[in-house]
Amino acid sequence: MKNKICILGLGYVGLTLALKFCQKNFEVIGYDTNEKIITDLKNSKSHIFEEGLDKILNKFVKNNKFKPVNKIPKNMDIYIITVGTPIIKKNNKNIPNLMHIKTVTKSLSKIIKKNTLLVYRSTLPLGSSRNVIYKLLKKSNKNQKNFLLGFAPERTAEGQALKELSKLPQIVSGIDKISLIRTSRLFEKICDNVIKANSIEEAELVKLTNNAYRDLSFAFSNQIALICSKFNINANNLVNLCNYKYPRSLVPMPSPGVGGPCLTKDPYILDYNLKGTKSIFSYGREINDKILVNLIDNSLKKIVKKINVRKKVLFCGLSFKGYPITKDLRGSAFNKFYKKYSIKKDIEIFYYDSLFNEYDLLNYRIKKFIFKNKIKFDAIFFLNNSPELKKISIKKINSIISKKTHIFDFWRIIHNSKKKLKTKNYYEIGEI
């Protein structure tokens, strides 16, 4: 008989993982504390966007393989925990907050039985599985200590999790040998490439290292871009020159910051283990934030030269990344630009992004723009690398700009046709 699985936390990680297990013929119960998410999921309506996900969700809700519930079910063989692990600011320091992990763990400790397997999937500060979760479970579950505890970090990219879950090697770990074997067997059901870590801490650190490395590599390029902007050097050209047929460097392209829910916090989670010593990881984070602040401030200076002259600004591409496609505004360049631009009374803000309707942006002072509206903009920003933006023709762009319009092309969306633009005020990273 197949194991009964419950997934706790139905966000980007939990929902996609639940559907992956359904695709492998498991019946999965999904629990979330957010009632709206549960009600919507019961109606096959997802709160997250991933290409193809809606269809799969609809199929498994209809045939009852995926059951969203608002109470933690008892008598499950396996509970997989995918709740959020945010960062909070305390005394000006970025501290991981395990509130959701602790809440869910305490609830589970009351219902788990002998041989129940708990697998944590959320990104955790190093040592938390053993020193926080295991201790909590043992403390609250005095009579039944022989539950099993595994940790298997989620490493998929938002927007293509369903594809990557079977393709990426799954790193698994356990608090003891039997927990490791059971966690490994579980992930073998969805992936052919399951790797057993030597300890639960090793698996925790793999996840943190992957993300801190990625964030830091972008910080390197963004630090170079900050130097470029002092000398008006196009940072993208520079990186291309560095990498051209030169086998000893693969510098990433600079960007308007690094956003999203993971890279913006995981370096701080890793830093937390250094107990107060400032590390290269948090320096990198600061640089990735600083480049965005520079771009915002410098673009504002170009646009708002005269006060009391109303300006129209268009933000294109709102999610924190354009590809793989996702509809996630957490840590996005757009949110940061919006925050600074929206307090200027003389700026009227529009957006171009078919993923978002005005209902999604009810709390924003912003209007949706479509090319049928004949508006002339004072500034246009390309804020992510969405495939939708790459399809806009120069003819269309010329129809909504004047000779004075400023175009900030942080992702080189129209780089190849920039000479055909009506305006000469075109900037890539390093040029402002």
Ligand X SMILES: NC(=O)c1ccc[n+]([C@@H]2O[C@H](COP(=O)([O-])OP(=O)(O)OC[C@H]3O[C@@H](n4cnc5c(N)ncnc54)[C@H](O)[C@@H]3O)[C@@H](O)[C@H]2O)c1
Q: For residue 107, what are its two tokens?
A: 């609830």
Nearer to ligand X, 18 or 37 (CB): 37
In the list 158, 215, 289, 409, the residue contacting ligand X (rule: CB under 6 A) is 158
- Does 82 participate in binding ligand X (rule CB under 6 A)? yes
Give the footprint of ligand X on residues 255-294 (CB under 6 A).
261-262
- Does 103 participate in binding ligand X (rule CB under 6 A)? yes
Whole-number Cα distances in Å, 77 to 56, 106, 113, 114: 24, 17, 9, 10
The nearest distance, CB 114 to ligand X, in angstroms, is 23
Q: Are strands 93-96 and 87-90 parallel, antiparallel or unpaired?
A: antiparallel
Give the CA dihedral 13, 18, 19, 24, nearest 10 degrees. 130
Handedness of CA 428, 321, 208, 247 (dihedral sign): negative
Nearest residue to ligand X, scored by beta-carbon proximity: 11
In the list 31, 338, 351, 369, the residue contacting ligand X (rule: CB under 6 A) is 31
- Does 324 participate in binding ligand X (rule CB under 6 A)? no
Which residue from 97, 120, 100, 118 is spatially nearest to 109, judged by alpha carbons? 118
- Cβ partners under 8 Å of residue 412, min gap 6: 236, 428
CB-neighbour burial class of residue 156 (10 A; exposed 0-12, middle 13-18, buried 19+) = buried
In the list 5, 6, 7, 9, the residue contacting ligand X (rule: CB under 6 A) is 9
Instruction: Return the range that interacts with ligand X (CB under 6 A); candidates 29-37, 282-290, 394-402, 423-431.
Output: 29-37
Amino acid at 431: E
Nearer to ligand X, 140 or 243 (CB): 140
- 315 vs 283: CA distance, rounded Å: 29
The nearest distance, CB 422 to ligand X, in angstroms, is 40
- Does 10 participate in binding ligand X (rule CB under 6 A)? yes
Q: Are 396 and 370 in contact (CB under 8 A)?
A: no
Q: What is the DSSP letter of 395?
A: H
Instruction: Return the range that interacts with ligand X (CB under 6 A); candidates 19-27, 54-62, 151-159, 383-391.
Output: 151-159
In the list 33, 199, 209, 279, the residue contacting ligand X (rule: CB under 6 A) is 33
- Does 100 participate in binding ligand X (rule CB under 6 A)? yes
Nearer to ligand X, 123 or 229 (CB): 123
For residue 102, the SS3 value is: helix
Which residue from 299, 219, 296 is spatially nearest to 255, judged by alpha carbons? 219
In the list 13, 41, 270, 379, the residue contacting ligand X (rule: CB under 6 A) is 13
Q: Give the binding site for ligand X (CB under 6 A).
A: 8-14, 31-34, 37, 82-85, 100, 103-104, 122-123, 154, 156, 158, 261-262
